[in-house]
A and B are shown apart, each in its own frame.
Chain A
Amino acid sequence: MAFNIILQQNLSPKNQLTKDTTDLVTLSGILREDRTDIINPVVLVETDYEKMSAVNYASINLFSRSYFVTKIEIVRSYKPDEETPRMITYAIFLKVDVLSSFATEIRSNSAIIKRNENASNILLNDGVFKVKQNPYIVVSAFPSGFLGAKELILAMAGNAGGVMGT
């Protein structure tokens, strides 16, 4: 059974939920083997497309999935002296990109967020920061203290020292 496969180029990080892809060419492909799975399929395409080396991503609507291209093998090519147009059969090894394939459904799920780039709480100590061996020493004097003149205190026994004291 033939089906359409969109060969693409992906320059996004592989762990990005939705990839920024560029569609290069849409081809008709078949599975290389009678029995295969949709997670790691191998698709045969015949094409004269000249930029196969730029292909690193693919989508197969029949399987409702997007794929990383893990390997491209040349299965068969025509000899140069043949009159027919140069067509090459490629075996494209794919591995499902579960993040992009189910991005919408993943976003609808709730989770406990462990770490995040934009919304975080760095009062939580998870050892995220490194510190140097030389700490800052901050010295701050209080604005006031015992800054006035020193005075004398004479303590005497009795009430001012004598009955005649006035």
Chain B
Amino acid sequence: MSKILVMDAYVARQGTHENVESLGRIKFGICVDAGLSSLTGTPFPEGDYDFFTRQVDDPLAFGGAVCTIEAKSIAADFLKSYCPMLSVTPITTAEDLSTLEIKLVNSAGEFATKALTTASSREGMALYNADGTSMGTSVPLSCDLLPVANTIFNPCWLFVSAFTDPDEKFSDDQILYSFGVQSNRYWGKTTLSRTALLKTKIINFLNNIEKYTPPSSPDPYDDAGDSGPGGGEGTFDYTGNPPGGWDPSFVPDINATDTGFVTLFNPTIAELQTLSNYLWSSAFDLNTFKKIFNDPMELFIGLSIVPVSVPDGGRKQVGIGLINTGVYMTLAGTQWVTVDCGTLNVPNFTGSYLDYDPYTRVEIYLPFIGVRTLKADEVSGKAVHVGYWVDLLSGACVAWIDINNVPMYQFMGQCATSIPMASGEWTSLINGIIGAVGAVASGAAAGGVGGAIAGGVAAASSVAVNDSKIQVERSGAITSAAGLVALQMPVLYISAPNLHKPANQNVFEGYPAYYTSTLADVSGYTTIESIRLQGIPATEPELEEIETLLKGGVIL
């Protein structure tokens, strides 16, 4: 929909019209004005023209603010009543005129623009070329013609038109010319018979307004499409559906021992010694054994030390192939064992944004796993629980870390220490240890200076607010035998900012707020982010100063 701003009439002389017309810039014009009859000496009858109802006693004062406003309103009403497709915004105050711009647009899309400086200034009618040079429209008060100017803003145009002369008579056809700015015609006293024709021409004209198309050049990004509004479709539902936390009552519903191919004993040292003595004694019938196996050690899958209490599965005699050894051992009641390390409540140290990443850093040492990093965003002010699952057969362990009963982290490790039962296993064990030590050494080396004290609670392990401090490893891969001699319970390491706060800081500069409130409900030092001052009987500079002071900080 086109938008037309209807400005008021200004007095100009005939030469103005000629100049404009000769430039060929005017695409159209509309004659809507009041006060024409005053120049004829015979006022229009009221209602003769429904848009020519304003009577002006002194035509030379026609540029004055009062009649300007009234005429403008009349013109706007007229346009709206005869061209509903247009959005017409009347200018209702004299001050509005000072902010208006006149735009002249030619067929090539060029436009000239000039702001009206004052509501009553006839220099406001001065027309300018696109390069800013004046078209020359000095308007003397003694002019005898009365052009009418209406601004039709982008995407339409402004134009100047309509003339009258107290002595000139003209026909209906002359009205058309005058209206269309096709020639310099004088508009004398009108009659009711011309009204309908004039209305028709105006309506036709408005229906054929050419839209102003601004100059354009090829845009290589046209294929990207035009931007538009978006967003605002959030649900703000942050409930989620977290799984349950660590539950020691949960066990896998199948054990390796259930298959019949594996048996797990929980022997004592004495029982192992008795079994060993039997295997190396003459009582062990090797001939019978070798009917099935080449080597008695083929029956032993592994012997290991585990850091947990093994559930009692009852006593059973150990058989070697088809041979009963006479040695009884306790069976492991299950393949899976849990270890509950308990809960730590992590406090909010300052209760501020400093309790979270990246200002606060949180690490956790997990037995048989090593040190892992936790997000302070997830841990601060929460309850941290650690629980383990241990597989007695393989020695694998999984540490569950629940934050407020929601499992947030799971790390895997190895907690069983293998005891070699043959030379080959010894070699594997040593190689495994060397590998583990290498992992520790590389972790320490990564810590640079702090690496020398890896594993300790050292100052070098602190976390800087700006991430500029050296990061070190507290441990490498602590598993198997190494894990047996390391810390046996989880430990939290929290690096928290050391606040340096002046006394009464809130009094002097306040703390961040960002909420909307009536100022009467706020007290103490306050700064304003945004405000729309209203209801204050102050001058404009005073209002500006008030806003500046409020934004700079005041004591309410």
Contacts and interface: CB of A to CB of B under 8 A. Distances in A.
Interface of A: 13, 15-17, 38-39, 64, 96, 98-99, 101-102, 105-126, 128-166
Closest 9 CB pairs of A and B: A162-B319, A145-B489, A117-B524, A120-B511, A165-B319, A115-B510, A143-B342, A111-B531, A114-B529
B555 A13 contact: yes
A102 B301 contact: no
Interface band, chain B: 35 or more
B351 interface: yes
A139 B474 CA distance: 13
B17 to A, nearest CB: 43
B317 A116 contact: no
A144 B542 contact: no
Contacts of B552: 15
B555 A109 contact: no
Contacts of B291: none
A102 B325 CA distance: 103
Contacts of A157: 261-263, 298-301
A118 B521 CA distance: 11
A14 to B, nearest CB: 9
B138 to A, nearest CB: 32
A119 B514 contact: no
B554 A15 contact: yes
15 contacts: A108-B520, A113-B527, A116-B510, A117-B523, A123-B353, A132-B500, A135-B463, A139-B491, A140-B492, A142-B341, A153-B303, A155-B304, A160-B318, A161-B318, A164-B322
B463 A98 contact: no
Contacts of A111: 516-517, 519, 528-531, 550
A5 B75 CA distance: 51
B534 A131 contact: no
Given A39-B541, A138-B492, 16 more contacts: A109-B534, A112-B515, A114-B512, A119-B513, A124-B353, A129-B499, A136-B494, A137-B495, A144-B342, A146-B308, A152-B304, A152-B306, A153-B266, A153-B332, A160-B318, A161-B320
B302 A155 contact: yes
A122 B351 contact: yes
Given A142-B490, A151-B309, A99 B546 contact: yes
